[in-house]
């Protein structure tokens, strides 16, 4: 089962990356010709993300192809459909709360809270790593965009970052 999932995910990631690079980004993202710094170009980060998606797709595909074929398929436990719908409803609630908290807390603090809420909603097997990422990733992104790229990041009403 693991092998099949890895192969499918890898193929889907490769197809998505190709679609973004060949159709999506050139067709729907425009950039002014006077952008001096390539990192600030509206095309740069979408291409980086599409390229990383393709690399991850290749890695998933390679991992799936290297995995041994299972001898006897073991039937997977079927989860109660109600639990899936409840988790979907909780995810929708997290999205709504995100939109309500953005003006009050700002983008950095809200994204930290949303990351933690989503990680625990999905029952992560790595709670300490999730907590560390929830704190570090928004702070590092804020530091880069606010202090290196000079892009204003929305701040909240209560706590302001330097």
Does residue 22 belong to any structural domain of this protein? yes
Q: Residue 148's pLDDT is what?
A: 84
Whole-angstrom Cα distance, residue 62 to residue 10? 8
Does residue 16 belong to any structural domain of this protein? yes
Residue 36: name the closest of 155, 156, 134, 149 by CA: 149
Host domain of residue 139: 81-148
pLDDT in tens, 104-130: 999 999 999 999 999 999 999 999 999
Does residue 71 belong to any structural domain of this protein? no
Binning pLDDT at 50, 70 and 90, where does residue 63 land?
very high
> What domain count does the chain have?
2
For residues 94 and 51, membership in a common domain is answered with: no
Given a cut of 80, whether residue 78 has pLDDT beyond it is: no
């Amino acid at each position: 089962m693991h092998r099949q999932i890895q192969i499918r995910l890898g193929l889907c990631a490769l197809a998505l990356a190709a679609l973004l690079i060949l159709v999506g980004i050139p067709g729907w993202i425009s950039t002014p010709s006077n952008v001096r710094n390539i990192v600030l170009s509206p095309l740069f980060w979408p291409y980086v993300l599409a390229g990383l998606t393709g690399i991850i797709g290749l890695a998933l595909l390679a991992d799936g192809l290297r995995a041994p074929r299972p001898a006897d398929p073991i039937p997977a436990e079927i989860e109660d459909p109600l639990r899936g719908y409840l988790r979907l409803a909780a995810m929708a609630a997290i999205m709504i709360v995100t939109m309500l908290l953005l003006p009050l807390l700002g983008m950095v603090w809200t994204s930290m809270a949303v990351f933690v809420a989503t990680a625990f909603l999905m029952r992560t097997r790595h709670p300490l790593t999730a907590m560390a990422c929830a704190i570090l990733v928004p702070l590092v992104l804020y530091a880069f965009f606010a202090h290196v790229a000079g892009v204003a990041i929305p701040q909240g009403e209560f706590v302001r970052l330097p």
